[in-house]
Structure 1
Amino acid sequence: MTNSQSFATRLFGLTILISTLSGFISATPATTDKKIIYYHSTINNTDTPVSLLPLINGTSDQVVTNIIIGQMHLNTTGLSLNDDLISSPKFDRLWPEVAQLQQKNIKVSAMLLDKYNVLKGNQTVFDEHYAFLHDALKAHNFDGFDIDDEDPTALPIQGIERLIDRLRQDFGPDFLISMSPVASALAGGSNLSGFNYTTLEQQRGKDIAWYNAQFYGGWGDASTPDGYDAIVNNGFSPDRVVMGLLTNPSNAGSGFVDLNTTKATLQTLTSKYPQFAGVAGWEYFNSLPGGTQAPWQWSEFFAQALGVNTGSQSSKRSTRAVAFKA
């Protein structure tokens, strides 16, 4: 064998090895990119602040990827969080916790539930009311903004696109803009918003990070994979659609599905769609199975259902506390 033949043989063998390894790597589905999201709306439970810090106490099994703070409401005089101005002292303990979660790479978004209609009108009107939202997002260093428009008369698609464009302009390419439509809206069915999500995805999909589809309240059913399949069949990629769930039957009306049934649905979806985006729970403070005493258990339960490694649990149990002590 000549030197040139020997080199060619070695090169051919190396090419085969690289090709084989590449095929093996690409065939192994990633699980770490799945989102596990909590909505955090009950900031104070019977006047006692609800702490988010248990989610990062003992980082060996940290599984939560995102927190969405809501419900925020935009008015002609300012921005409120639940029933109080966002500047209220009631939230003084919330913002330092948000910063601590962000230090652990948990992304924190603000969620605006209603009053999108105040953004309707000419540019001057829009700018005046958008300023309340902009200033709050800046002041509290939010990583993103979740659009939950449940009023079909509030904004047409052009108004939503103006809001998305302005957020992108003001906060840059890494700012997370998500949306929380009812599940049926993504499947081409009943819709609480005043625009078509398929059209919006075509026109602004590049600026929308993902959709938190509400599979509850009569707008979706998490007990089977059928509703999620309908969304995929309507043209939405599974890596862009998070399954939104109730974490407790007392939250947000009807549609709670027991944990084991939901787990089976998620396992089916994860097997069928390796890029399945994950889950979002409404809401944190009383999430089952732990309830108000251990709401973090919901995220750990569904991390296991999604195949996300949770690590050792035992070191964390004795150190967590849900509420601040006065």
Structure 2
Amino acid sequence: MWFFYFLLSLLGLLRISLATSLNATLELQDEVIERSMGYTKEPSRLVMYVQTFKTPQGEPLSLLPLLQHNTKVTHIILASIHLHDEPGEIRLNDDPFDSPTWDTIWEEVKTLQINGVKVMGLLGGSAAGTFKHLNGTERQFYSYYQPLLSLLQKYNLDGLDVDIEETVEISVPLRLINALRRDIGPNFIITMSPLASALTNALGQNLSGFSYFELDAFATVPGSEEKLISWYNGMFYGGYARGPPFFQSIVDAGWDPLRIVMGVLDCSNDGQANGFVRIEKLQDTIRGLRGMYEGFGGVAGWEYHDAGMSDGVVYEPWSWVKRVGEALF
């Protein structure tokens, strides 16, 4: 009889071992399935664009208060990088990367990165011309691309926001994005910043001249479905940030909510008159989207230097970021 009970005990242990192994296998399968969809599950993002590097009083703008006040910012995008007519002439706004103008900023970038904040650059933007230089023969393309690649690596930027606000062929972003992935690797973040309307349908209002639906379908790692574009910082200006329906229409069009970040104006002076939404209303919208979608991509604010000034607060741009973070996380 004792041998019978010994066998029962042994079988019980075997079942536990098999169950544990099965669960581990299922978890591994879930991870593989999740990765095959082209993105990795991660928390929402709180992105801040910085284009003006002075306060409204004309003093140098420091980015370190974003850390000192625990704003929970996750990504900072430095704007804007421009490719000029002469290959290798690349400027951040009006000055070369190695100009003394940027000495303090590059030191702050290192501090931000040490503390877990990803710092990226914005290529292009509203000043047209950059992408015409990337639309030529292979030789012409690399004469402009190689100096850009060298700067991204030299200054240890974590990613590039490809902001195309001029009409180009779809081959232009595809060639650039594929080259960046090949030369820097999968940890380099590649994002884009279309009008939100360009994400509602293939014929939506668009500044770039190509379909982002087609681009996203083509922009995959060769031989897989892994997406090369990490996410989209959609320009949700105008009435788009006043409630969830517009974001929902983008999700209904087939986009994963985790790959859509809601870009908003943080001051009424930063865009069209009807594009600004006060922080209390924006917080309500963010909470609503968080409740609707388990994976909500996050919020991006344009731009940091005057954030919150239209909400009647003293000049503390970091406080606007913190209030967004309170609603987001």
Specify the TM-score bucket, using the shorter chain as the normaliser: 0.7 to 0.9
Q: How does 1:199-238 map to 2 (within 5 A)?
A: 199-205=214-220, 206-216=227-237, 218=238, 221-238=240-257
Is 2:79 the partner of 1:70? Answer: yes
Q: AA paired with 1:304?
A: E
CA distance in 1, matches of 2:97, 2:251: 37
More helix, by proportion: 2
Q: How does 1:78-117 map to 2 (within 5 A)?
A: 78-112=89-123, 113=125, 114=128, 115-117=130-132
* Aligned 8 A contact 1:290 1:298 in 2: no
Is 2:138 the partner of 1:123? Answer: yes
Q: Tell me what 2:266 maps to.
A: 247
Is 2:152 the partner of 1:132? Answer: no
What RMSD over aligned residues (CA atoms) do the two structures have, in Å? 2.5
* Aligned 8 A contact 1:39 1:69 in 2: yes
CA distances 1:194-243 after superposition (whole Å, capped 9, x unpaired):
21111111111511111000101x4x610011111111111110010001
* Aligned 8 A contact 2:71 2:321 in 1: no
The more displaced of 97-106 and 292-301 is 292-301
Q: Tell me what 1:312 maps to.
A: none
Q: Secondary structure at the match of 2:47?
A: strand
The more displaced of 291-300 and 272-281 is 291-300
Q: Secondary structure at the match of 1:142?
A: coil
* Aligned 8 A contact 2:232 2:259 in 1: yes
The structure-2 alpha-carbon separation of the partners of 1:214 and 1:292, relative to structure 1 and needing over 3 Å to count, comes to farther
CA distances 1:53-101 after superposition (whole Å, capped 9, x unpaired):
111226xx35111000002221113112222333322112110000110
- The structure 2 residue matched to 1:163, chosen from 145, 157, 176, is 176
- The structure 1 residue matched to 2:48, chosen from 38, 43, 64, is 38
The structure-2 alpha-carbon separation of the partners of 1:50 and 1:264, relative to structure 1 and needing over 3 Å to count, comes to same
Q: AA paired with 1:231?
A: I
Gapped regions of structure 2 (runs ≥ 5): 31-40, 221-226
Q: Secondary structure at the match of 2:317?
A: coil
Q: Secondary structure at the match of 1:235?
A: coil
Q: How does 1:182-197 map to 2 (within 5 A)?
A: 182-188=195-201, 189-197=204-212
Q: Secondary structure at the match of 2:284?
A: helix
- The structure 1 residue matched to 2:277, chosen from 246, 257, 270, is 257
Provide the aligned length of Structure 1 versus Structure 2: 292
CA distance in 2, matches of 1:89, 1:101: 19
The more displaced of 38-47 and 186-195 is 38-47
Q: AA paired with 2:217?
A: Q
CA distance in 1, matches of 2:271, 2:147: 27
The more displaced of 102-111 and 255-264 is 255-264
